[in-house]
Amino acid sequence: MDYVKPAEVAKTMVEAGRMKLSLSPRDLLIRGALSGALLGTATSFAFTAAVSTGQPLVGALIFPVGLVMIVILGLELVTGSFALVPLPYLEGRASPGAVIANWGWVFLGNLLGSIGYGVLLAIALTNFWHAEPTGVAARFEHTVVNMFIIPTGMLMGAKVTVADWWLWNQIPVTLGNLLGGFIFTGLALYATYRPAASALPMTDPIAAKVPAE
């Protein structure tokens, strides 16, 4: 049976540590912040599932999804950096200062992302601190989901006017989704994984096919 030999695993770990050390502070902060937010999201969902079902195992099954997303997106968690970043130093290919600086930037990014998600969750659960926390879910809003839920509820007797729907939900939620989707997902990943200019496709596919004269 084929398998990866331990020596190959160790070599890959050293190379992963070198790759992490090559990242700029900006990239470490962005990827660390996204990791903190994703892990906070997974934790809140795990707590919600465990409490609502009364089965801690359900929460335990949900939590690793956050870790899987972090790995798939190639983000940074300081715990992973603790394990991998010192290895190039042991090989004589990195300085102690570079290792400590990496840990510091990733730790700060994880902290900022975790606190940022915590603030958003608190706002959602307390209606900007005007009410006691309610629900067993994050209560965030999705503009397309609300296009179905709210008018359907109105048709079934919900005391909501068209003005209420659009002025106090659909428009604000759409703007929030626009800003959140762009800033926290599109812009963040683009900023840290921006492709080289030479790798970008031409904007005009027809012009790309015309041979130069």
pLDDT at residue 44 above 50? yes
Mean pLDDT score, 7-34: 95
Cα separation, 159 vs 191, whole angstroms: 44
**Which segment of 19-33, 46-60, 131-145, 156-170 scores lowest on mean pLDDT?**
131-145
Could you tell me which residue, 141 or 95, shows the higher pLDDT?
95
Mean pLDDT score, 21-26: 96
Cβ neighbours for 49, distance < 8 A, ≥ 6 positions apart: 58, 59, 62
**Band (114; pLDDT cuts 50, 70, 90):** very high
**Which residue type sits at 24?**
S
Cβ neighbours for 127, distance < 8 A, ≥ 6 positions apart: none
Quote the pTM value. 0.81
Nearest to 83 by CA among 106, 115, 108: 106
Could you tell me which residue, 142 or 30, shows the higher pLDDT?
30
- CB neighbourhood size of 200 (10 A): 9
Residue 6's φ and ψ, nearest 5 degrees, are: -55, -35
**Which residue type sits at 45?**
F
Average pLDDT, the chain: 89
Q: What is the tens place of the pLDDT at every residue in 152-174?
A: 999 999 999 999 999 999 999 99
Q: What is the tens place of the pLDDT at every residue in 175-197?
A: 999 998 999 889 999 999 987 76
